[in-house]
């Protein structure tokens, strides 16, 4: 059902694909039901949202904001100034755009923007992707009107009366990948008679996963498997150099895969980090997964995410510390074990929430009408 008025929605946050793609999915869901909705995204200057959001067809402006570095660096001395400047610009953007609702999806830009919105009395909603809440969302929790979450037990971080369980939004093109298998294999030039391993280390790449594949990909090819490998932009040159002697058509090494629906469709087994958005996508895709959680995240929340899936027999887990020794071996074992694949697929699909973006969009519109 479409609305008859023009809503003005501001969406703030980013930093990684795990924040950016849910934000875009929420905007797409709103636009589907309310085509005249006007959007303004607010990100952090120099971060990937400044590129990915315009690619999706939405306008974005950047704040001069970044996080505190864990090590002692001179850039940390600029942090208080960046916060003040970003809050002032946030007030300016609110006056200029006049949003009905401001949505935060986590990341550096979300903090100043949502803080300014709550100060102005504008309705606000935040979306937390992980089972362990991010610092920005924890700081905002008592100020905002609604908090949409994907995991149980989030009342240990947020006021219980503001929590709404929706799941994480994912891209619509991932909802029916089973129907695209032939198309996916053809797109990447793969043989329909061979099993395919998809390797993704998140939008920025993952050194541990890349190193494990660089050492072991020849064994995968020798076993008759195909490998579709997203390295991340910063690792592509090194990985291409390390695999230069392998000229097999069964190996595709790419910096970034834009057509993720086709990549998922082509895959029989997937290696992935265990970010919340990745897990939400994979639950809908319904393919056997080996999670290699990143150890470089707050409170080791990716390991918690992965082990929650393992406890439901919905995925396999190889720790980052032992991936170099075991990841390729585990991949070969899973590629050869179709019974295990079917068990993981069935249990994974039970956990998917295909309507998350629509449910969050509905909560946003309810705030406008309140």
d(CA 307, CA 311): 6
Annotated ligand binding at 360? The verdict is: no
Give the DSSP letter string of 221-242: HHTT-EEEEE--GGGHHHHHHH
16 is annotated as contributing to ligand binding: yes
For residue 170, give Cα distances in angstroms to 27, 146, 150, 173, 174. 11, 20, 12, 9, 7
257 annotated ligand binder = yes
Give all strands (DSSP E) within the chain, no chain letters: 8-12, 38-44, 60-63, 101-104, 124-128, 146-149, 163-165, 196-200, 226-230, 251-254, 269-272, 289-291, 316-317
Whole-model pTM: value is 0.81
302 annotated ligand-binding residue: yes
The answer to whether residues 59 and 49 touch, using CB atoms and an 8 Å cutoff, is no
Spell out the domain ranges in the chain.
Answer: 8-170+354-369, 173-349
Q: Are 19 and 109 in contact (CB under 8 A)?
A: no
pLDDT of res. 244? 95
pLDDT digits (tens, 9 = 90+) for 195-248: 999 999 866 679 999 999 999 999 999 999 999 999 998 999 999 999 999 999
Average pLDDT score over the chain = 92
CA nearest to 280, candidates 367, 161, 165, 181? 165
Residue 20 assigned to a binding site: no
Strand partners, 125: 103, 146
- What count of other Cβ atoms lies within 10 Å of the Cβ of residue 312? 13
Please report the DSSP string for 129-154 in residue order.
-SSS--HHHHHHTTTSSEEEESSTTG
Task: Answer yes or no: is 3 a known binding residue.
Answer: no
Number of C-alpha atoms within 13 angstroms, CB side, residue 353? Answer: 19
For 295, the enclosing helix (H) or strand (E) is: none
Query: Could you say which of 1.20.1260.10, 3.40.1160.10, 3.90.105.10, 3.40.50.2000 is the CATH number of the domain covering 173-349?
Result: 3.40.50.2000
Given this model, what pLDDT does residue 2 score? Answer: 47
Condensed to tens digits (0 to 9), the pLDDT of residues 3-28 reads 467 999 999 998 877 789 899 999 99
Is 296 one of the annotated binding-site residues? no
Query: What stretches in the chain show pLDDT beneath 50?
Result: 1-3
Within this chain, domains 8-170+354-369 and 173-349 share the same CATH topology: yes
Would you state the CATH architecture of domain 8-170+354-369?
Answer: 3-Layer(aba) Sandwich (3.40)
Query: Which of 17, 18, 24, 15 is CA-nearest to residue 47?
Result: 15
* Angular region, 103: left φ>0, alpha ψ -120 to 50, beta rest: beta
Residue with tokens 């940390």: 76
């Amino acid at each position: 059902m479409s609305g008859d008025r023009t809503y003005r929605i501001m969406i703030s946050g980013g930093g990684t694909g795990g924040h950016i793609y849910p934000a875009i999915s929420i905007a797409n869901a709103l636009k589907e039901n309310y085509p005249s909705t006007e959007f303004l995204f607010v990100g952090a200057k120099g971060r990937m949202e400044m590129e990915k959001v315009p690619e999706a067809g939405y306008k974005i402006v950047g704040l001069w904001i970044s996080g505190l570095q864990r090590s002692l660096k001179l850039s940390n001395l600029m942090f208080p100034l960046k916060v003040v400047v970003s809050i002032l610009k946030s007030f300016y953007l609110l006056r200029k755009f006049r949003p009905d609702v401001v949505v935060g999806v986590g990341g550096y830009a979300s903090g100043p923007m949502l803080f300014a919105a709550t100060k102005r009395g504008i309705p606000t909603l935040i979306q937390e992707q992980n089972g362990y809440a991010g610092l920005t969302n924890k700081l905002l929790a008592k100020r905002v009107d609604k908090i949409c979450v994907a995991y149980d037990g989030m009342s240990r971080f947020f006021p219980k009366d503001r929590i709404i369980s929706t799941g994480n939004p994912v891209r619509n093109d991932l909802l029916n990948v089973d129907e695209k298998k032939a198309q996916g294999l053809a797109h990447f030039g793969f043989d329909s008679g061979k099993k395919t391993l998809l390797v993704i280390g998140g939008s920025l790449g993952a050194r541990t996963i890349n190193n494990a594949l660089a050492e072991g990909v020849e064994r995968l090819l020798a076993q008759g498997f195909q490998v579709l490998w997203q390295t991340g932009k910063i690792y592509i040159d090194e990985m291409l150099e390390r695999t230069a002697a392998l000229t097999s058509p069964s190996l595709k090494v790419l910096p970034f895969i834009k057509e993720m629906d086709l990549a998922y469709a082509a895959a029989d087994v997937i290696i992935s980090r265990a970010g919340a958005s990745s897990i939400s996508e994979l639950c809908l895709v319904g393919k056997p997964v080996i999670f290699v959680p990143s150890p470089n995240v707050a409170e080791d929340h990716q390991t918690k995410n992965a082990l929650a899936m393992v406890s439901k027999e919905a995925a396999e887990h190889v720790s980052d510390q032992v991936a170099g020794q075991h990841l390729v071996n585990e991949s070969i074992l899973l590629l050869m074990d179709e019974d295990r694949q079917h068990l993981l697929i069935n249990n994974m699909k039970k956990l998917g929430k295909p309507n998350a973006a629509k449910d969050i969009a509905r909560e946003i519109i309810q705030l406008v009408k309140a």
